[in-house]
Chain A
Amino acid sequence: MSLLSGPPTVVAAGVDVFSAALRAQGADVHDVDWRPPGFGDPADLAALALDRRRAAANRTAVERVMAAGSRLVDVRPAREVLGLPDRTLLHSGPPLTWEMASGPMRGALIGACLFEGWATTVAEAEGLLASGGIALDPCHHHRAVGPMAGVTSPSMWMWCLEDPVSGGQAFCNLNEGLGKVLRYGAYSDEVLDRLRWMRDVLGPVLAAAVRAMADPLDVKGVLAQMLQMGDEGHNRNRAGSLMTLRELSPAVVEVDAPSSDIAAALRFIGGNEHFFLNLGMPTAKLAMDAARDVPGSTMVTVMSRNGTEFGIRTAGTGDRWFTGPADTPVGLFLGDYGPDDANPDIGDSAIMETYGVGGFTMAAAPAIVRFVGGTVPDALATTERMYQLTLAENPAMQVPILGFRGSPTGIDVLAVARTGWLPQINTGMAGRVAGTGQVGAGLVQPPRECFEQALAALAAEARTA
């Protein structure tokens, strides 16, 4: 037994009565700054700590996340990709009704109805949505993700990504750019005109280009590279967007379309520093979907918000959502918008943190930490803290300033409860009032309730297993 092979290094948790005595003997003692768990019934914490399936299940879940790849294989309209019935709209976050929808979510749903021609006026769209004339369904129920409101309608084009390892698929709509855009709840003519152009010009050009590429774009590879170029993959996608432009450009140029359309498409991609986000998100989704349904695993597979509620899912609890009221981000505002203008947290983009990048790799993108008036050491500390919430380090996603340490990957519900620390998410902020658009960007955390419910459910499942 290795314990008896020499004087041991000691890690001590609890009262430090004996640490001084150990040090007086010349022992190498490391005190843990232990605190009572942040939440959770002690019996539930014990049931999970002792669940004999847990270690292997979490290992399996982590291995699947790590192994998953991501190839861009197609661009197709949502109607074809998802087999969406007519008059169905996808949205971000856990399930939602029109009654509970926030301003920006309503704005985006209204805009989508106008865009699809299901209504010709805002009032008509509101009436249609309020009467239940439009079916609403979470993106996550369709292997899809969408940033902010995440509203995806049948005529919108979607990135189609495939995991070559598991054969899994994931989908995401195309990024519209910043400012007044549908995903932030804006639905003015400018917004709808852009969506029509994306439908009629950008989508077909991208589809033709992607299908013509000899080697499908390795999106996971782009994500790995951008972390080494100052991006964190959620609020900062500059390098990733430029690399995507570089990779797509030759194929785009060769598409049989008017050169003005080609130029417009390239200008649009080059002018949108978040263009990559809608490729990064389904890449993370592919990885997290690979870890679905691993009984005994306490790993979080989805974190997502619909502007009203925050919802999570875990590998060990199947398709159940654990929800709580979404918090409002703290950060910086565009123009003279202020905190009162911000809507509560919204979007499927927290899939990036679920995958271990975004807020979790804050240390890779020091610029982002200024969103909360922080410093570079703050960014390093945030990432260091996330290592204690997660099950593994992803060697594919490295943080240069931490000595190329892998990103903290696989949020462990049990670790969240024990540390009392919540995952750190970087996010955009939508205006509270429908039609406003983006008002800022900042940082947010999930409500504790989500993790409390998940912990209780995982413990209940462990007891019956």
Chain B
Amino acid sequence: MSASPPPTGLRHVSLRSGVYADSVRLMQVSRDVGARDGVTAVLVAMATPLNLELAAGMGLSPGDGTSPDRLLVAIAAVDDDALAAAVAAVDAALAARERAAGPAQAVPLRTVGAGLDALPTDGPALAIVSVPGRYAVAEAADAIAAGRSVLVFSDGVPVEHEVALKRAAHDAGVLVMGPDCGTAIVSGLALGFANVVRRGPVGLVAASGTGAQQVSCLLDTAGVGVSHVLGVGGRDLSEAVGGLGTLDALAALDADPATERVLLVSKPPAPSVAEEVRAASEGLSVPVRSAALSPGSPDLTAAVEALLADMGVAVPSWPSRSTTRPAAQGAVLKGLYAGGTLADEAMLLAAPVLGDVRSNTPLRPELGSVVDPSAPDLSASGHVVIDFGDDALTVGRAHPMIDPTLRLEALARVAASGEPAVVLMDVVLGHGAGPDPAATLAPALQAAGLPAVVALIGTEADPQGWSRQADALAAAGAAVFASNAAATRHALDLLGAAR
């Protein structure tokens, strides 16, 4: 027997007929009543030989008349009140009805695998993974194992994970979009940062999110819609990844009846990968045009215009509001970008005109040495273009398309430095972007008092509305362009006029 001393004081021992409760229920009653003040021992149990032995060990034998179908209530307590209360508690507990079983409490689904498993649909489904990069692989692998495509928004995913995931996806006949994929449109559903654009025949494969946004918005403006925008992640066309995602996305669009033409939007691919993608493209039934940004290649707007020409669609005049302050003598270019590809495009257009442009994401490595990526300091003199959406600047904070704080601070510093400057910025509208970017940017531009040019990437159908934003920015004195290339050229014109 256990270590507790034999019960002392008052006792109640009774045998009841016609009462039955499950042994577990009775153990629970014994425990609850035994926990009352002044109660030293309790045994409420059917009077089986085993339980009678237990009762005897507690000094609470019922004497004669036992039977396994009678209920033994044996209680020892320190005084009359405690004993009476304990007996009453036993009676109450035995009479109590348990509350009816409600529905199961919701059990949280912890993994993509569990989430997909719980889906009631056999129709098209997609997983979106935005967990920290080092954990993304397991979630993405869940989707692939379930035969589902996955968009990996997470950054910081090791490249070897990316390669392994894309190989597995290829074998499973699904797509991995990303990692670090912020933009996609699947059958009209905008995932991440994407604009409200019309549906149509052009499929985009994008190794660049803002590049895809620029292209899809210009197409929309020209009256041409997209079938799907499949992001593949910025590293896909590197030597290490070998274009695994691009090749599968091209094949998927080739097989898609809604897609009649494909535009591939990217930063410059690794040469071997470019060749492989080109060869693969030639084997497809849909025509594929490439808009790969590199020195001397057409800018994104020119690539869109070429595609429109392929389709026999007239090129519209891209919307703009082209009035701004003149540049001061000796002004330099200060590019404050949220979109990496748009920043690249601006530098590619500016470099032949202005010479070296410093950056945290420079065209040539040596041009980045004066810009500390962990402390974006535009007080460095001369032409500078900063990509505030670069991973190094988004650690622990939201993307500048959502949180404009860093860019607005930088704008104020440029103005305060006294260095004559033309400010070039992008503002990206659409799903995922801030609800009214002009509301904070327009006053900041007004306060800066500098000549400013804004590449406003969006459509009228976007929640923020292109014209509404353009008018607010123009009212603050900025020139506004739907084309980033046009915006950049306008800034260069302002600088040229000031020489």
Q: Which residues of A contact B (CB under 8 A)?
A: 1-15, 17-18, 21-22, 24-25, 27-28, 30, 32-37, 42, 45-46, 49-50, 52, 55, 178-179, 332-338, 340-341, 363, 366-368, 370-371, 373, 375-378, 380-381, 384-385, 387-388, 414-415, 418-421, 431, 436, 439-441
Contact = CB atoms under 8 A, between A and B. Distances in A.
Nearest to A235: B24
Contacts of A18: 128, 130, 153, 191-192, 431-432
B139 interface: yes
B397 interface: no
Contacts of A363: 104
A336 B130 contact: no
Interface string B89-113: 0000000001101111101111111
B134 interface: yes
26 contacts: A1-B175, A4-B124, A4-B186, A4-B252, A5-B124, A6-B124, A9-B121, A10-B189, A11-B126, A11-B148, A12-B127, A13-B128, A18-B431, A34-B112, A34-B139, A36-B135, A37-B138, A52-B168, A341-B2, A373-B28, A376-B102, A381-B107, A384-B104, A388-B110, A415-B111, A436-B1
Contacts of A388: 107, 109-111, 114
Interface of A is mostly: mixed
Contacts of B50: 178-179
Contacts of B252: 1, 3-4
Contacts of B129: 12-14
Given A1-B255, A366-B101, A439-B2, 20 more contacts: A1-B174, A1-B252, A3-B174, A4-B258, A5-B187, A8-B123, A11-B128, A11-B148, A12-B129, A13-B129, A15-B130, A17-B130, A18-B153, A30-B119, A334-B54, A335-B43, A336-B41, A375-B98, A377-B101, A431-B2
Given A11-B116, A52-B168, A332 B22 contact: no
Nearest to B255: A1
A375 B174 CA distance: 43
A419 B53 CA distance: 45
Contacts of A12: 127-130
B34 interface: yes
The 4 closest A-B pairs by CB, nearest first: A14-B130, A380-B104, A376-B101, A33-B108
A336 B189 contact: no
A391 B107 CA distance: 17
Contact of A377 (B105, B131, B164): B105
Contacts of A332: 24, 27-28, 30-31
B271 interface: no
Greatest chain A CB density within 10 A among B42, B143, B153 is at B153
Interface of B: 1-4, 22, 24-25, 27-28, 30-31, 34, 41-43, 50-51, 53-55, 57-58, 98-99, 101-105, 107-119, 121, 123-132, 134-135, 137-139, 141, 143, 145, 148-149, 153-154, 158, 161, 164-165, 168, 173-175, 186-192, 227-228, 252-253, 255-256, 258, 402, 431-432
B126 A9 contact: yes
Contacts of B4: 336, 338
Nearest to A412: B113
Given A3-B175, A11-B119, A21-B432, A333 B126 contact: no
B279 to A, nearest CB: 21
Contacts of B175: 1, 3
B66 to A, nearest CB: 16
Nearest to A19: B128
Given A30-B118, A368-B24, A11 B105 contact: no
A52 B101 CA distance: 43
A418 B189 contact: no
Contacts of B42: 336
Nearest to A3: B149
A10 to B, nearest CB: 6
